[in-house]
Amino acid sequence: MMQLFTPDFSESTSRAHTLFLPFSFLVPIFVVLLYERPIRKYLNLKYAGKSFSEKERIHARQRLLNEPFFMIFLNLTVWMAASAYYPFELWISKHSSPAILQAFFMSFNTGLITAGVAFFVLERVLQRRLANLFFPKGGLYATPRTIHINIGIRIAALVFACNIVPQIATIGFVMNTRNMDEDPAVILGSLQSSIMLNAITFILVGIWLTFVVSTYFRRPLREIIGVLQDVRKGRFDQRVRVTSNDEIGFAGDVINEMNIGLQERDLIKDTFGKYVAKEVRDEVLSGRVPLDGEKRDVTVLFSDLRNFTAMTEKTDPKLVIRIMNRYFEEMAGAIQDEKGLVLQFVGDEIYAVFGTPVYLPDHPSRAYLAAMNMRTKLKALNDEFEAKAWPVLRHGIGIHSGHALAANMGSPDRLSYLLVGDTVNLASRLQNLTKDIETDMILSEATYLRLQKGLPDFSALRQMPAMRIRGRDQTVSVYTLP
């Protein structure tokens, strides 16, 4: 690049070229091929559809991320060797000091320029072509034993290439004019020409590098902003395309992990919403409802199918599953419509509660309305089954109100929100009692006395003779519908 006062040292440079050029080309090519071997192996296996080990994957990723720095080191090593070798050849050939300085600065400046350009070119290829192949899900920052190319390094490299290198070149031009016997006008003219030529070159290189670096910042930041705007609108399915292992790449990985977490949270909410009303779900997930155990006034509902075992023995298993899923769908819907919580499906039994985890002052009435709706839905369901020549269903419902201990119970790895106490046991016993008195719904007196007047078929409820319940010393007063 330096064109100032090129002396006649063709014989010396010819000998230097003969010795140095094969070394400067062949050795770097061999070193690069050796360095990139894990990368090429990984790509060959990937495109051939063959399997590769996790160790091979990580090794290839490490080489890929470190290659820009490796190429800078290799480039500078070759050109610094040239900046030492060529001046030495001229020195032993008795050339002048300006000629030796010119040879030094020519190699030195060329090394700085090519190293900077190689760094940004490799970075651009890595981000636009290779990152998605090696890191389809991001995670560049988490790759072990790699140099993190942070924003500060990129800005420093840009400043160095666009400002410091041109100044070093200018210093080299000026130093070449020292101790010269040429006419000052000739020296000044040559100096002006050289500075003008190199200024144009550095301006073009600077414009290109500025475009490359600005593109590097603009594209990922635009993607990050777009994904965050989707998050603000409640859409968590978008991902930032991560192509670097600096702060921006790390931010992209964090945003992607956040979106995955938000998707999982929404999945949990949606799944929870299949068992409990939306209002109950939101209260529980917000943390406003204690789940570590508390005594609550509740109404418990148990429902159980009649002759279920006999039906399963006579019916195709796949059809049984379809029938049960439709039954549970309709019955759970009736319970949730009254803000009840389905705690468990146990075989053909439904275990539900009203009044917890969110307190409902009218929970006995809601449980009664849910049971009435279950009766209606079962009749419609049986009409549907009869039309398809499927077995029809009968069930019994037991309802009791009282106090129970509500808490998350189970092992540390698997918890269930359940109720414990006599209220639960009695509701289950009442459900079993429906078989003995051949009815489909029984309410305890505790529930009946708390029902709101005017409920559907409330006047049709009839008190049964006091019943003796297994496991209880005293008889229990119950009500049923004809």
Report the range out of 47-56, 164-173, 178-187, 199-208 with the highest average pLDDT: 47-56
Half-sphere exposure of 321 (CA within 13 A, CB side): 2
Q: What DSSP assignment string belongs to 45-105?
A: HHHTT----HHHHHHHHHHHHHHHHHHHHHHHHHHHHHHHHHHHHHHHTT--HHHHHHHHH
Same domain, 171 and 297: no
Same domain, 301 and 226: no
Same domain, 307 and 226: no
What per-residue confidence (pLDDT) applies to 186? 66
Does residue 242 sit within a domain? no
Burial class of residue 32 in the structure, from the number of CB atoms within 10 Å of its CB (0-12 exposed, 13-18 middle, 19+ buried): middle
The total number of residues written for the chain in this structure: 482
Instruction: Choose one of 203, 232, 261: the last residue of a domain.
Output: 232
Query: pLDDT tens digits, residue range 461-477?
Result: 999 888 888 777 788 89
Query: pLDDT tens digits, residue range 198-252?
Result: 778 778 877 877 787 777 788 888 889 999 999 888 888 888 888 888 888 888 8
Q: Within 10 Å of residue 242's Cβ, how many Cβ atoms?
A: 28
In sign, the C-alpha dihedral spanning 438, 472, 355, 325 is negative
Q: How far apart are CA 367 and CA 301, in angstroms?
A: 7
Same domain, 192 and 315: no
Tell me the average pLDDT across 102-109. 74
Which residues span the domain enclosing 297? 290-480
Q: State both tokens at 369.
A: 């309305």
Does residue 241 sit within a domain? no
SS3 140: coil
Tell me the average pLDDT across 331-339. 92
Q: What is the CATH number of the domain that holds 299?
A: 3.30.70.1230
Same domain, 54 and 198: yes
Query: pLDDT tens digits, residue range 380-417?
Result: 999 999 999 999 999 999 999 999 998 877 776 766 77
Question: What percentage of the chain's residues is helix, strand, coil (to nearest 5)?
Answer: 60, 15, 25
Instruction: Choose one of 164, 198, 232: the last residue of a domain.
Output: 232
Alpha helices, H only, 278-357: 278-286, 308-314, 317-337
Same domain, 34 and 169: yes
Q: Within 10 Å of residue 56's Cβ, how many Cβ atoms?
A: 14
- Which residue from 216, 245, 28, 205 is spatially nearest to 125, judged by alpha carbons? 216
Phi then psi for 329, rounded to 5 degrees?
-60, -50
What per-residue confidence (pLDDT) applies to 93? 76
pTM above threshold 0.85: no
Percent above pLDDT 90 for the chain: 27
Q: Within 10 Å of residue 209's Cβ, how many Cβ atoms?
A: 19
Phi then psi for 343, rounded to 5 degrees?
-80, -40
Residue 423's pLDDT band (boundaries 50, 70, 90)? Answer: very high
Does residue 280 sit within a domain? no
Does residue 256 sit within a domain? no
Spatial CB neighbours of 281, under 8 Å, sequence gap ≥ 6: 269, 272, 273
Does residue 275 sit within a domain? no
Tell me the average pLDDT across 42-48. 86
Residue 176's pLDDT band (boundaries 50, 70, 90)? Answer: low
Residue 298's pLDDT band (boundaries 50, 70, 90)? Answer: very high
Instruction: Choose one of 232, 265, 282: the last residue of a domain.
Output: 232
Residue 449's pLDDT band (boundaries 50, 70, 90)? Answer: very high
Split into its structural domains, the chain has a count of 2
What per-residue confidence (pLDDT) applies to 401? 96
Does residue 441 sit within a domain? yes
Q: How far apart are CA 414 and CA 404, in angstroms?
A: 22
Mean pLDDT of the chain: 82
Tell me the average pLDDT across 174-189. 64
Residue 75's pLDDT band (boundaries 50, 70, 90)? Answer: confident
Query: pLDDT tens digits, residue range 260-283?
Result: 888 877 777 676 666 555 655 666
What per-residue confidence (pLDDT) applies to 385? 93
Q: What DSSP assignment string belongs to 164-199?
A: IHHHHHHHHHHHHTTT--S-HHHHHHHHHHHHHHHH
Q: How far apart are CA 331 and CA 388, in angstroms?
A: 20
- Which residue from 437, 431, 425 is spatially nearest to 304, judged by alpha carbons? 431
What per-residue confidence (pLDDT) applies to 299? 97
Tell me the average pLDDT across 161-185. 67
What are the beta bridge partners of residue 328? none
Report the range out of 55-59, 129-133, 394-398, 456-460 with the highest average pLDDT: 394-398
Spatial CB neighbours of 395, under 8 Å, sequence gap ≥ 6: 303, 304, 305, 306, 374, 378, 440
Percent above pLDDT 70 for the chain: 85
Query: pLDDT tens digits, residue range 313-329?
Result: 888 999 999 999 999 99
Q: Within 10 Å of residue 445's Cβ, how many Cβ atoms?
A: 16
Phi then psi for 394, rounded to 5 degrees?
-135, 145
